[in-house]
Amino acid sequence: MYGKKPKNCDCVGDCVDSDNVRYTGPNLPNSGIQTGTILTEVIERIDNYSTSGTSGISGTSGINGTSGTSGKNGSSGSSGTTGTSGSSGTAGTNGTGYNPNELVIETAINYSLTNVDSGKIIIFTSSATLTIPTGLIDGFECTFVTLTGATLTVVSTGNTLYNNEGFVMLPKLTFTLKRRLAVNTFIVTGNM
């Protein structure tokens, strides 16, 4: 397929269809998506992920029994010496909506990257704008996917993006942002 234009392709120069492109992002647990998987298969798996149903409602807890009666209080004893300090308590729970294992984020609105997006896949289900801010952490990497009918416009003021051909990604494509060279300097792989 290399060196030939696929049917209905308006590319300039040599074109490659998605059956000859391999996913270069991180392996994604429980998704079947791994580095080296054919791009067409990755997009199909992500499409299947985004159309799966929601979980059912959990049942209610059972009724607790009543407490027994209290015994008589005894007389107070003398105070003892102060003991050593105990260990620290367990950490509290995270706030509503927190999911540390959320690897795939699905959005239908404009999106601004933050450092917590590193290692994730962000799926755009409708046309939107992606803002890439300056100051992202060393090792930052994030993959972006557009589903059918979604066009992504990338805004990246103050950053240098190597290997990009423009700032608009058409539907049913993917690209990965990798920070490799210097502060605010990224390599872009994929179809942007």
pTM as predicted: 0.49
Q: Which of 12-26, 72-86, 91-105 has the highest mean pLDDT?
A: 72-86
pLDDT at 149: 95
Q: How confident is the model over 65-87, as a mean pLDDT? A: 76
Q: What is the pLDDT of residue 11?
A: 57
- In tens, the pLDDT along 5-21 reads 455 555 565 555 556 67
CATH for the stretch 40-51+102-190: 2.60.120
Which residue carries 């107070």 as its tokens?
76
Q: What is the mean pLDDT of residues 149-166?
A: 89
Q: Distance between CA atoms of 32 and 44, rounded to whole angstroms?
A: 11
Residue 169 · residue 147 · CB < 8 Å: no
Over 70: is that where the pLDDT of 135 sits?
yes
Highest mean pLDDT among 34-38, 61-65, 187-191: 187-191
Instruction: For residues 114-131, give the mean pLDDT.
Output: 95
Contact 158, 184 (CB under 8 A): yes
Distance CA 32, CA 86 (A): 46
Strands, E, within the chain: which ranges? 104-107, 111-112, 121-124, 128-131, 141-146, 152-155, 160-162, 168-169, 174-182, 185-190
Query: Does position 81 have pLDDT exceeding 50, yes or no?
Result: yes
Cross-sheet strand order for the sheet of 160-162: 104-107, 121-124, 141-146, 174-182, 185-190, 160-162
